[in-house]
Amino acid sequence: MTRKNLLRALDGECLARPPIWLMRQAGRYLPEYREIRAEAGSFLDLCYTPKLAVEVTLQPIRRFGLDAAILFSDILVVPHGLGQEVWFVENEGPKLAPVRDKAAIGNLRLTAMREHLAPVYQTVSDLSALLPRGVALIGFAGAPWTVASYMVEGGGTRDFAAIKRWAFADPAGFGELMDLLVEAIADHLCAQVEAGAEVVQIFDSWAGVLPEAAFRRWIIEPTRALVARFRAKHPEVPVIGFPRGAGLYYTKYAADTGVSAISLDTTVPTSWAANKLQPNLTVQGNLDPMLLLVGGDAMAEGVRAILDDLGQGPLVFNLGHGVVKETPPDHVATLVAAVRGDTA
């Protein structure tokens, strides 16, 4: 049996045509997703109902024939599994009862998490039985810093005031939360692999908001510890790191965290990445999601530039961030054809 293209690329092989999948490839831009989402009621109910979560994971695979499926879930199921209150408000995003001190950390329970997240692992195992041959299954988690930002701020934030205050003024106290998250997230990734995930991705969506010393302490160190803990159990499973917005720290992240591949956000210059990152590890990325939304010549040129700069080394084609809700689904089909070199 030939190996899956995604696994070959993550192993460092340079394929004539790179494998392609998209962050947030399942979601509200697909009418069939909106239908299932309405049936589920709440977003979290959708995440915790294996039959429905399997269905929405498979929708983009059926439509576009991508090289990988990513488990349909969310980074916030980890704090939810630890016992924090988490809910989603329509058009506002996630809300959480903030964790801002030692007492609140003390209320979080690692022991209950695996049981709480059993439906997520059931979804992974159902998917691994159902996926078409050749399609790899990706599990994921948020990185400690990004998950902590939602936990401490109580939702999305513009300035990261509460989490920075805590991390800068009381690093030892905040460090206890981060240590707990390293353990919980490693366990969550291991459980996904034990249920059938073949690759995992760590989403650090808010890696780009810290000064240098704090970047080392709260991005590099916890991610390194997380990857080491995961690798101790599953040394053969590729880990993709996505330190969105890390800018000049991309090289340090790639060198020091132990990830097997690195996902580039939209702003990372591809010619730079070809010289500085790709000689050492597989790169993934990084079409601007708004180019996918716009489509046409603008998208075609964006695709060409990425393939020209990164196509000579190990590459996984992806976006620089998630698919935007207003994206016409046809544009995704056109993108897949362009990356595969199929003439329209």
Residue 318, interface with ligand CP3 (CB under 6 A)? no
Q: Does residue 70 touch ligand CP3 according to CB under 6 A?
A: yes
Sequence-separated (6 or more) residues with CB below 8 Å from residue 224: 256, 257, 258
Comparing CB distances to ligand CP3, the nearer of 145 and 203 is 203
Is residue 27 a contact point for ligand CP3 (CB under 6 A)?
yes
**Separation between Cα atoms, residue 246 and residue 116, nearest integer Å:** 33
21 near ligand CP3, judged by CB under 6 A:
no
Tell me the two tokens of residue 234.
């599953």
Measured between alpha carbons, how far is 200 from 197 in angstroms, rounded to an integer?
7
- Asked if 309 is an active-site residue, the reply is no
Angle at CA 288, nearest 5°, toward 250 and 339? Answer: 100
3-state secondary structure of 109: coil
Contact assessment for residue 198 and residue 10, using Cβ atoms and an 8 Å cutoff: no
Of 236, 243, 264, the closest CA to residue 11 belongs to 236
Q: Which stretch binds ligand CP3 (CB under 6 A): 22-30, 77-85, 111-119, 181-189?
A: 22-30
How many whole angstroms separate alpha carbon 146 and alpha carbon 183?
A: 15
Candidates 7, 17, 43, 208; binder of ligand CP3 (CB under 6 A) is: 43
**74 part of the active site:** yes
CA distances from 227 to 193, 259, 281 (A): 14, 7, 15
Does 68 contact ligand CP3 by CB under 6 A?
no
Burial class (CB in 10 A: 0-12, 13-18, 19+), 122: middle
- What residues are paired with 204 via a beta bridge? 243
- Contact flag: residue 72 with ligand CP3 (CB under 6 A): yes
Cβ-based neighbour number of residue 153 at 10 Å: 21
Residue nearest to ligand CP3 (CB): 205
Question: 29, 33, 121, 150: which one is catalytic?
Answer: 150
Output 20 or 274, the one with its CB closest to ligand CP3: 20
Per-residue binding string, ligand CP3, 220-259, x by CB under 6 A, is ----------------------------------------
Catalytic residue among 24, 34, 109, 224: 24
Which residues within the stretch 107-146 sit at the binding site for ligand CP3 (CB under 6 A)?
Answer: 140, 142
| Residue 288 near residue 270 (C-beta atoms within 8 A) | no
28 binds ligand CP3 (CB under 6 A): yes
Position among 37, 100, 164, 188 found at the interface with ligand CP3 (CB under 6 A): 37
- Count residues near ligand CP3 (CB under 6 A): 21
Taking the least distance from each CB to ligand CP3, the nearer of 96 and 182 is 96
**Closer Cβ to ligand CP3, 24 or 229, answer by number:** 24
Shorter beta-carbon distance to ligand CP3: residue 65 or 322: 322
Task: Collapse the DSSP code of 256 into the 3-class scheme (helix H, G, I; strand E, B; otherwise coil) and give the result.
Answer: helix
Which position among 28, 109, 216, 229 bears the catalytic label?
A: 28
Rounded Cα distance between 180 and 175, Å, is 9
Residue placing its CB nearer to ligand CP3 in the complex, 94 or 314: 94
Provide the annotated active-site residues: 24, 28, 37, 74, 150
List interacting residues with ligand CP3 (CB under 6 A).
23-28, 37, 43, 70, 72, 74-76, 93-94, 140, 142, 156, 203, 205, 322
